[in-house]
Amino acid sequence: DTSRSPKDVLVTLPGGYLLCGGGGRSDVREFERLSGLGYRAMDVGDHPGGARLLREALALWSGPAFADVQGGVQLDMEIRRLEETRLCALDQRIEADLRLGRHRELLAELTVLVSRYRTHENLHGQFMLALHRSGRRGEAL
C-alpha cells in the first residue's frame, strides 16, 4: 500500500516500537511458507520438489537474523527460534539432496556445517553418509 507513510509502518509506543506490516510479505513469512511447502513435498516423497523449495527458502537468508539490532530477552529468543527454523530447513534440504544422490556435491558444505554445529547429530550422520556413498568409507568412520 503506497498510501502508508513510514510512521504508519513503524509506530512509536511507550517502551519501544511496533512494526505494522499490514499483512504484507516479509522474508520471514516467505521463508516459513516455502520451507513448509518443502517439508510437505518431502513427506510425500517429492525429493526434487522438496530440495528446490527448501533451497529457495534458504536463499532468503543473507546472514544472522537481526545481525545489526541490539538484542534483549525477547529478541534473543526470536533469534534462536529463527536460527532453529533455518537449521531445520537446511537439514531437510541436505536430506533431500542425499536422497537424490548428490553425495559428493554435499561434502564441502557438510564439512563446514559439522565444524560449526559440533553437537548436531543429524548433520554428522548426513556427513558420514555422504562420505560413505562417495567412496570414502574410512573417513566416514
**pLDDT tens track of the chain, all 141 residues?**
566 676 666 677 787 777 776 666 788 999 999 999 999 999 999 999 999 999 999 999 988 888 877 778 888 899 999 999 999 999 999 999 999 999 999 999 999 999 999 999 999 999 999 999 999 999 988
Write down the pLDDT at residue 26. 80
> In this structure, are 96 and 140 located in the same domain?
no
Note the pTM of the prediction, 2 decimals: 0.81
* CA dihedral angle for residue 109, residue 115, residue 117, residue 121, rounded to 10 degrees: 90
> In this structure, are 126 and 108 located in the same domain?
yes
Whether 28 contacts 57, CB under 8 Å: no
Write down the pLDDT at residue 93. 98
Whether 97 contacts 106, CB under 8 Å: yes
Joined together, the cell numbers standing for residue 66 give: 537481526
> In this structure, are 40 and 69 located in the same domain?
yes
Name which of 89, 70, 79 is nearest 31 in CA terms: 89
> In this structure, are 92 and 107 located in the same domain?
no
The domain total for the chain is 2
Write down the pLDDT at residue 85. 96
Its domain, for residue 35, covers 25-100
